[in-house]
Amino acid sequence: KVGVAVQKGLTGNQLKLIAAAAMLLDHAGILLFPRIQLFRILGRLAYPIFAYMIAEGCRYTKNKLRYFCMLFGLGTACQLVYYFFSGDTYLNILLTFSVSVLLIYAMQASWESGKAIWSAVFAAGIVAAVGLDMLVTIDYGFWGIMIPVMIGFAHIRQFPRWAEVLMLGLGLVLLGEAMGGYQNYALLSLPFLLCYSGKRGKGNLKYFFYIFYPVHLAVLQGI
Q: Residue 51: is its pLDDT beyond 60? A: yes
**Average pLDDT of the chain to the nearest whole number:** 90
Least confident of 19-28, 49-58, 91-100, 198-207: 198-207
Confidence of residue 27 (pLDDT cuts 50, 70, 90): very high
* Residue of 98, 77, 70, 105 lying closest to 206 (CA atoms): 70
pLDDT in tens, 153-197: 999 999 999 999 999 999 999 999 999 889 999 999 999 999 999
Contacts of the segment 184-192: beta carbons below 8 A, 24+ positions apart: 184/44, 185/41, 185/44, 186/44, 186/45, 186/47, 186/48, 188/44, 188/45, 189/44, 189/45, 189/48, 189/49, 190/48, 190/165, 192/10, 192/15, 192/18, 192/45, 192/49
pLDDT band at residue 6 using 50, 70 and 90 as cut-offs = very low
Angle at 130 between CA 129 and CA 134, to 5 degrees: 115
- pLDDT over threshold 90, residue 83: no
